[in-house]
A = this chain, B = another copy of it.
């Protein structure tokens, strides 16, 4: 196998799997480890991949993972937030969860908006209180320290009494098969109730969380009315959700 061929093959594998192992490569191509090592060295020098101990990673891998050092992809969340606020209208009763995306959304609410925001999230409330004209209602209960939201039977019974116009949820994982999933028992219960208590349900999620799932199921896609990501609505990664009848923004 020629050198150029090997290079092309390595790049191909890398595009498919974002990762190659030196061992696999030298077995498949039936060359020595040294040859592979030198191939990777050259491709790395040409900045076509990232060489690591034991193999190599694709450039996109590093971009996605390490480009976003501080606040996690704030620009993506800002895009999501901007789309989300367009759904809020004057006079609405809005139920929101917690999380950084919801806080971003709180920051970009138009100043002249008049609506009532109901939440159990402390960071969200802190933002809502800065707004000049919206009303803020806090759902009370014991506060979960790590996620800083009120959580418990008291909170759930309060949410059950609501019939909000719209509900915004930052979600951890969504998948066309498993629906919306979560890894925290209490938070999952809470989100489930919030969904039931609202006429429209808007899920906010960065695209990395698409097509991932976690142990606890919150609901299927049929309960979701809107899905907002930082991607344009016609991105192919969103096809499954379109098909499921979700409005994708």
With a CB–CB cut-off of 8 A, which chain B residues contact A140?
120, 137-141, 150, 154-155, 158
Task: Give the Cβ gap from A108 to chain B, nearest Cβ, in Å.
Answer: 18
Q: Does A11 sit within 8 A of B, measured CB to CB?
A: yes
Q: In chain B, what residue has the closest Cβ to A54?
A: B2
Query: Looking at the complex, which of A57-65, A80-88, A195-203 is the stretch in contact with chain B?
Result: A57-65
The reply to whether B138 and A141 form a contact with Cβ atoms under 8 Å apart is yes
The reply to whether B8 and A53 form a contact with Cβ atoms under 8 Å apart is no
**A21 to B3 CA separation, bound complex (whole angstroms):** 12
With a CB–CB cut-off of 8 A, which chain B residues contact A73?
15
The reply to whether A2 and B57 form a contact with Cβ atoms under 8 Å apart is yes
The reply to whether B136 and A145 form a contact with Cβ atoms under 8 Å apart is yes
**A140 to B69 CA separation, bound complex (whole angstroms):** 26
The reply to whether A8 and B143 form a contact with Cβ atoms under 8 Å apart is no
Q: Does A75 sit within 8 A of B, measured CB to CB?
A: no
**A240 to B62 CA separation, bound complex (whole angstroms):** 37
**A122 to B62 CA separation, bound complex (whole angstroms):** 16
Q: Does A35 sit within 8 A of B, measured CB to CB?
A: no
**A138 to B53 CA separation, bound complex (whole angstroms):** 33
19 A-B pairs within 8 Å (CB atoms) are namely: A4-B50, A8-B62, A8-B65, A11-B65, A12-B65, A15-B73, A18-B146, A48-B69, A59-B69, A60-B70, A120-B138, A126-B126, A135-B143, A136-B142, A136-B145, A137-B140, A138-B140, A140-B154, A140-B155
